Amino acid sequence: MGATIQFESHRVELPTIYEFEHDEEVLEFYDQPSPIKLDYQGKNGRNLGVLHTPDFFVIRRDCAGWEECKTEEELKKLAEKSPNRYFYDSESRWRTPPGENYAQQFELYYRLCVDTQINWVIQRNVIFLEDYFRAESLHLETAINAEIQQLVSSSPGISLAELLNHGTQASADDIYALIATEQLYVDLSVAPLAEPERVCVFSDKHTATAYGLMLKTTTSSTPMSFSAINLSIGTSISWDGKGLSIIHVGDTEVTLQDELEQLIQLKKSLFLNLVQQAKIKSLQKSETPDIKAESWEQFYRASPEDQAEALRRYKVIEPYLNGNPPENETVSERTIRHWKLKYLAAQQQYSCGYVGLLSHRSAKGNRTRKLPEETLVLMEKFILDDYETLKQKKMWEVHGALVRVCEQQGAIAPSYKAFTKEIKKRSSYEQIKKRQGRRAAYKQETFYWELNRTTPRHGDRPFEIAHIDHTELDVELVCSRTGRSLGRPWVTFLIDAYSRRFLAVYLTFDSPSYRSCLMVLRLCVQRHNRLPQIIVVDNGAEFHSVYFETLLATFECTKVFWHFKFLMGVEGLEPTRPFRVNGFSFFRSFHCYLMAIASSGFKNWTLPLPST
């Protein structure tokens, strides 16, 4: 609508804004509309009347009304506190009767937007394609467009990874532009574009629908094979537009997990019926037999000695498996038959014969707990409720209270040594956080000494999320001519959250202001010819400047504020861990290094940037 929209929640309100922006039924929407009065009965029976400001007022093609954004966890707490204002109805929907009653008198609606209803795959894809949506012109050369269309038409369901690496004249930008303009069809609700091997590309929606019907027909014709779904732990599926993963397969039940790590339990018969009806679909293009999860569990449980012994056994039986037994064998024939039998049995049971050769000698012995279950439950309760609290009680004090309770209940009391060992088994970070707070536990977080493919990143690509911050350097400069002290300089950083690369660095003797923010963005454009898509800042006054906000609004950059909770990764932004050493922030730990870079000249300072 040519205006900036405010949001307070990075987990609910911002995704809702993205949905409004890309919903053809939404004509206009406004944040923080005028307050409305809600009348309802409190939990104690008293009549209450409160002024409430909904998050958005939305005008759609056929209706209009207020929408409020909440997390399901927050709604559960509010429902206990105010059951007449928030409740979960029989149709599995969260509702607010006071808001609905108020809207009904104007023939409008009042709706709750819950985080569990958000399709996070669509959210990731919308952000991924946002630059292509905003581009004024995405016209491609006719020859390149025709080449891509011909390739996709001849291979319906081709993966995006194959398309990107096929060797055509088209660049990745050309292909993403065709997807953004719907000249190529991709179901954005199934798999993230940042994982191209899971994305299927079609020439149009009708072809994609026909492709799905082919899979459905194949699946229904062989009801017991279910070839479209690999029913094993770790398999990614799509159900009603949401991405899920299988985390447990039992004899009677199947447990699924969504992207918010919430669990869904289904009867196995119901799950298989949904697969037959094509309501549950696989996110993999083709399902091939894979090593079962049980075999990986045995592999990880094996010690280095067990692994070495298993490799020795495999080298002995390998010629016999291939039908070429050696002439001079030092191992007895009976032992070879025994190892070969174990190998073939494991291959049939786990699809991996190697695990049958693992002896697990280090796992042998009686390692079961000696204390009864009742004592273990009491010990866990006292550690959680009495020791890991802000009262910071001593171990012996909590142990004494535990012994008294055990005596009262007739349970066996654990020794002080066993109690302290149980405490030390627990996470030191979680314990310090519960006893002393987040700041005290800050230095206990995992530090990443180097970046690799498994290091947590922010965003799916470079220039998606960047951070701006300032610090006063721990150096004092003196004029070489006059000898006069010039003071301590300030440095402003713009850091790419995905690659951890410095996009721009600005040095000045002025204290932080909107000028520093604008200059570091100017240097970013000068070096990279673009601005980041999302800029994360703190609540400093310079980030609230009209000039700074106007610049971001002009170029449609999303500004996100972080505070201490954001830094700890509570609100959906993971901690910037590579920038911490010995409990101190990055900006307080690398000043000498940065000043050395500054003295050598920033223009010649480059780091490799991962390609999208």
pLDDT one-digit tens code per residue, 547-577 = 998 898 888 888 887 654 433 333 333 333 3
In contact, 192 and 198? CB cutoff 8 Å: yes
Q: Count Cβ atoms below 10 Å from residue 305 Cβ, excluding itself.
A: 11
Q: Do domains 373-442 and 465-604 have the same CATH topology?
A: no
In contact, 188 and 205? CB cutoff 8 Å: no
pLDDT score of 438 more than 80: no
Mean pLDDT of 257-283: 77
Q: Smallest Cα–Cα separation from 475: which of 488, 462, 492?
A: 488
CATH 1.10.1410 fits 121-203, yes or no: no
More confident residue, 604 or 16: 16
In contact, 255 and 240? CB cutoff 8 Å: no
The token pair at 69 is 């954004």
What percent of the chain is predicted at pLDDT more than 70? Answer: 80
Which long-range contacts does 381-384 make (Cβ < 8 Å, 24+ apart)?
A: 383/422, 383/423, 383/426
The token pair at 20 is 């409004």
Strand 94-95 vs strand 87-88: parallel, antiparallel, or unpaired?
antiparallel
In contact, 505 and 491? CB cutoff 8 Å: yes
- The Cα-based distances of 296 to 225, 233, 351, 356 in angstroms read 24, 11, 11, 12
In contact, 102 and 68? CB cutoff 8 Å: no
Q: What is the pLDDT of residues 571-592, one digit of tens each?
A: 333 333 333 333 333 333 334 3
pLDDT score of 497 more than 80: yes
Residues paired with residue 201 on neighbouring β-strands, in sequence order: 158
In contact, 539 and 561? CB cutoff 8 Å: yes
pLDDT for residue 283: 67
DSSP run (H or E) holding 466: strand 465-472
Mean pLDDT of 39-64: 92
Q: Is 583 left (phi over 0), alpha (psi -120 to 50) or beta?
A: left
Write down how long the chain is: 612
pLDDT for residue 586: 37
Return the CATH number of 465-604, one of 3.40.50.700, 3.30.420.10, 1.20.140.10, 3.30.1330.30.
Answer: 3.30.420.10
State the residue for tokens 């996709």.
Answer: 152
Q: Smallest Cα–Cα separation from 489: which of 599, 604, 603?
A: 599
User: Strand locations in 240-313, DSSP E?
Assistant: 242-249, 253-257, 263-267, 280-282
- The Cα-based distances of 340 to 305, 312, 335, 337, 353 in angstroms read 20, 13, 8, 5, 9
Mean pLDDT of 204-210: 77
Distance, CA of 309 to CA of 332 (rounded, Å): 16
Count of CA atoms in the C-beta half-sphere (13 A) of 380: 7
Which range, of 141-145, 410-414, 462-466, averages the lowest pLDDT? Answer: 141-145
pLDDT for residue 509: 92
- What is the residue-averaged pLDDT of the chain? 79
In contact, 55 and 32? CB cutoff 8 Å: yes
- Which stretches of 385-427 are DSSP H helices? 395-409, 416-425
List CB contacts of 251: < 8 A, sequence separation 6 or more: 268
Q: Smallest Cα–Cα separation from 122: which of 23, 10, 6?
A: 23
Q: What is the pLDDT of residues 507-547, one digit of tens each?
A: 999 999 999 999 999 999 999 999 999 898 988 889 989 89
DSSP run (H or E) holding 268: helix 268-276
Distance, CA of 359 to CA of 309 (rounded, Å): 8
CATH number of 373-442: 1.10.10
3-state secondary structure (DSSP) of residue 172 = helix
Question: Helices 514-528 & 546-554, crossing angle to 10 degrees?
Answer: 30
pLDDT score of 318 more than 70: yes
State the residue for tokens 């492709």.
Answer: 211
**For the chain, what are the domain ranges?**
13-118, 121-203, 208-282, 293-363, 373-442, 465-604
Residues paired with residue 132 on neighbouring β-strands, in sequence order: none
Q: Smallest Cα–Cα separation from 576: which of 472, 471, 442, 461?
A: 442
- The Cα-based distances of 379 to 374, 383, 395 in angstroms read 9, 6, 12
Mean pLDDT of 116-121: 87
Which range, of 28-32, 335-339, 439-443, averages the lowest pLDDT? Answer: 439-443
137 φ, ψ (degrees, to nearest 5): -140, 125
pLDDT score of 433 more than 80: yes
Distance, CA of 274 to CA of 229 (rounded, Å): 11
Q: What is the pLDDT of residues 236-251, one digit of tens each?
A: 888 877 778 888 887 6
Sign of CA dihedral 224, 229, 233, 239: negative
pLDDT for residue 23: 87
Distance, CA of 583 to CA of 577 (rounded, Å): 10
pLDDT for residue 360: 64
In contact, 607 and 597? CB cutoff 8 Å: no
Q: What is the pLDDT of residues 481-491, one digit of tens each?
A: 898 998 999 99
500 φ, ψ (degrees, to nearest 5): 65, 25
3-state secondary structure (DSSP) of residue 359 = coil
Count of CA atoms in the C-beta half-sphere (13 A) of 403: 12
Does the pTM of the predicted model rise above 0.75? no
Sign of CA dihedral 412, 417, 418, 424: positive
Which long-range contacts does 167-174 make (Cβ < 8 Å, 24+ apart)?
A: 168/144, 169/143, 169/144, 170/140, 170/144, 172/612, 173/132, 174/140, 174/144, 174/145, 174/148
Mean pLDDT of 431-452: 70
In contact, 57 and 24? CB cutoff 8 Å: no
